[in-house]
Amino acid sequence: QVQVVESGGGLVQPGGSLRLSCSASGDISSIKAMGWYRQAPGKAREFVACMTISGGSNYADSVKGRFTISADNSKSTEFLQMNSLKPEDTAVYYCTGDTRGTGCQFGTWGQGTQVTVSS
């Protein structure tokens, strides 16, 4: 079993930056990838970014060049650096821990952290 907990959300002005963190616990050795999804009010949850334990990563087109996913050396904490934030980035951001090697399509979800981009 793997558990993940997000942190780092908040209110930021357009053009600003935020760094989200996701801490994994439990059977960390079973994690194949960790990633981020987000859900805006009235919209479906959407993929943001995913990084495998080998270091490979992929991003949604909407965040490419602005968001960067990374992990610490222990691979138990993952980060999402968000730059040049836009109002449309406002959403609850969820971390996921993938133990099945699905490229973050399926995994354990955290409780989410709110990101609000507004002036």
Q: What pLDDT does 31 receive?
A: 93
* Mean predicted confidence (pLDDT) in 36-63: 96
Q: What pLDDT does 2 receive?
A: 93
Helix (H, G, I), strand (E, B) or coil at 81: strand
Q: What pLDDT does 76 receive?
A: 87
Q: Which of 35, 41, 53, 52 is nearest to 94 (CA)?
A: 35
**pLDDT tens for each residue of 71-104:** 987 778 999 999 999 999 999 999 999 999 898 9
